[in-house]
Structure 1
Amino acid sequence: MTQYVSPLPKSQQDPHEKIVGAGEFTYKVNTHWGQLDPAMFPVENCHDLAIDSQGRIIMITDNVKNNIIIYSPEGKLLEAWGTEFPGAHAIKVVNENGQDYLYVVDSGWLVNPKWDGVSTDDWDSPTNKVVAQSGFIAKLSIEGRLIFSVGHPQTIGVYTPEQPFRPTDIAIANNGDFYVTDGYGSDYVLQYNKQGQYIRHWGGHDNQDPNLNLSNTHGIAIDSRKPGEPKLIISSRGERALKIFSMTGEYISTIETPGAYIGGPVLDGKFGYAPVCWSHHDGKNAEDSGFIAILDENHKVVANIGGTQPEYIDGKLQPMCSTWDLFKHCHGVCIDEQGNVYVGQWRANQSYPIKLEKL
């Protein structure tokens, strides 16, 4: 449970270059990376990040002045564009036949022109800062040209009109099938083929077997780290757990993450890096209490960045919590070839990504 402590006295530590993590997961914090002029290139929430085949870091934000901000590895601005994703929430890069494409998930949240200037969490209020509409998924060229979009499943008879569809994340299989988590809507996982045609869905809230239920299913990843058929790792964030399913929706197992409202992991080598938006503290999801949980290929939490280090007693993971000194609400991560981690945050005072430089 040892948290890394810088050998330098506090008077000699640059607050923007503190040392965090533990063991082989030790990093220098670089908050200068990616800083831009907010008047020209604003962000509301830095919801997600991805890396393309050129090594460029692509950030998605729900500020419609520039939904997409593309950085060089050094943190220099290369491109900024996009006005059509008011609920921009997740982004993935897929290379098909040597060409990069973007998948963008818009979760359906819309800035409210009737905002009362105060309400931020009264989701059903007509004067809340954001209000809900239906979300969608879009496949784009790397330059941002629309190829196709997938909207509310009521249009194909899968949902009823009353069921909300507010997707949160996407994972793309090698054959082009993609899997969407409806984490702010009806909590299903929907599978489509590479043309965007519906295949199946599962999850929701009302299964006789509670293992099949999903709660705020916020993220998803395809796990191919072990031989054999890949598996889906799907966050059930409201349950503070990750659940393992087959590629066709059969339940396999649950990974309990006590204390952590955890998103879907980003897999890199043997490890998965999962953003934790809140810690469960004093009986609730505490504000400004995010961290990053790192899991090995056996789904064991081996380190936390910005959180208490994991402890297992009799094989059972003990509750984890933020250390309250690094992140606000971790929402999206990506990892470059050198093992550096780029972190995007929700409700972090419109901040740009943080780079964690691997030591």
Structure 2
Amino acid sequence: MTSRRNFIRNSTMASALVAATPALGFSILHKDKQPDAPAVIGHGDFKYKVDKGWAKIGVNGYPLANCHEMVQDSKGRLIMLGDHTNNNILIFDKSGKLLDYWGSAYPGGHGLTISKEGGEDFLLITDCGYYQDRWGNGKAQAGQVVKTKTDGTLIFAIGHPRTIGVYSEKEAFRPTETAVAPNGDIYVADGYGSDYIIQYDSNGKYIRHFGGHNNANPDHNLQNAHGVTVDTRDRNNPTLVCSSRNENCYKVFTLDGKFIKRIDLPGMYVCRAVINGSNLYAGVCWSKDAAGKMLGSSGFVTILDAENKVVSSPGGTAPVYKNGVLQPTLQAAVPVFHHGHDVCIDEDKSIYVCQWNANHTAPVKLTRV
């Protein structure tokens, strides 16, 4: 296998070859011509130019399955997690040039969180346990969360909570996401398993869990707890924003698991919340048409302001409030994305959209206009 050193040396040539071909996207991956997506999407003050050919990689040299999540490190690099074990991790610069890649041990690579400790960046990688074999058959193995350095060096792993007596034998563990609190505590969202949010200390020692399905107050329940995020917009009162994707909402909890409120987002099957400045951004993995029918090729991005009011949904319909209540947001007439799974926002307020089940395409860049 080509060494990283040889890969870096040859990357300029590879980038030139890719640049000479049509941009990755619908044009080369679909036999049937697709309607042209609009060049600029979004609403109000949050409009964006779409660049589907941003990533300078070829599907043969550095194959992709699903591009699940992306974060930006202290050096400004964009680190993407996918579930193709030729390269679970791909690291780009902002121009889309591939700088490095590693990882072959996470066939269910799903969630990616970055934290800083003592001036060094660390990654929390969530493997949900679901994956496809080489023939496209669905498989399952034990889910896990691992902490690594940004070069892949393993620090520790968090396995099935059953091993520490937290889960019963009947409760599945298929983790999808993590978040890190200001004190270093780690929150694991068991979004494909039993829908708990599990809190550990910074060394992976269990503290508590909450959410799940059988609480006396149904607002405390989670249905597809796909994402969890520490919201530090109020630095004196950080909270947890948890996806309850099947309910089309976020549920907000204190850091010790007490329910505060819900943020309803009708029509949106939202993934994790991403906080940037005073705004909350999220990928929307599915949506519906005006008749309420779930659409296969759907998904967009949504943006909320400091008051958690939707101000733009690039790739979806414009937000409409009636008597202070958000009306269902629908898929735009011409789809731009295939299942927006995560977003990463850089210092220029550009958005990088990772997509699930998107015909092996790389992330899409949205440049704010």
Q: TM-score, normalised by structure 2?
A: 0.87
Mark the runs of 5 or more structure 2 residues left unpaired by the alignment: 1-35
How far 1:261 sits from its partner (Å)? 0.7
Contact preservation (8 Å) 1:289, 1:321 = no
For 2:45 and 2:191, the matched residues in 1 are separated by: 33
What is the rounded CA distance, in whole Å, between the counterparts of 1:225 and 1:212 in structure 2? 23
Calculate the aligned-residue CA RMSD, in Å.
1.4
Q: Which residue of 1 aligns with 2:322?
A: 313
Aligned match of 1:239 in 241, 244, 247? 247
| TM-superposed deviation, 1:344 | 0.4
Matches within 5 A, 1:178-327: 178-281=186-289, 282-323=291-332, 324-327=334-337
DSSP-derived class of the 2:285 partner: strand
Structure 2 partner of 1:329: 339
Match for residue 45 of structure 2 among 24, 27, 30: 24
Verify: 1:340 aligned to 2:350, yes or no.
yes
Q: Rate the CA distance shift 1:71–1:50 in 2: closer, same or farther, 3 A.
A: same
How many angstroms apart in 2 are the aligned matches of 1:227 and 1:147? 28
Please identify runs of 4+ aligned residues in structure 1 that moved more than 6 A: none
Q: Does 1:34 align with 2:55?
A: yes
Pairwise CA distance, 1:227: 4.8
What are the Cα deviations for residues 66-117 of structure 1, in whole angstroms up to 9, with x where unaligned?
000000111101001100000000111111111111110101113236x5x6
Is the Cα contact below 8 Å between 1:220 and 1:234 reproduced in 2?
Answer: yes
Q: 2:142 corresponds to which residue?
A: 134
Is the helix fraction higher in 1 or 2?
2
Q: Is the partner of 2:121 in helix, strand or coil?
A: strand
Q: Quick one: which of 147, 168, 171 aligns to 1:163?
A: 171
Aligned-residue offset at 1:302: 1.2
Matched, 1:109 2:109: no
1:60–1:90 CA contact under 8 A, matched in 2 = yes
- Would you say the 8 A contact 2:44–2:311 is kept in 1? no
| Identical-residue share of aligned pairs (%) | 45
2:69 counterpart residue number: 48
Q: Aligned equivalents of 2:128 and 2:42: distance in 1?
A: 32
Structure 1, unaligned stretches of length 5 or more? 1-14, 118-128
Selected match of 1:357 from 339, 343, 367? 367
TM-score calculated relative to the size of structure 1: 0.90
Q: d(CA) in 1 for partners of 2:249 and 2:92?
A: 32
For residues 261-317 of structure 1, give each alpha carbon's deviation from its aligned partner in whole angstroms, at most 9, with x where no partner exists. 111210000101111100134445321110111011211111111010111101111
What SS does structure 2 have at the residue aligned with 1:140?
strand
Counterpart residue type for residue 104 of structure 2: T
Aligned-partner Cα distance in 2 for 1:214–1:284: 23
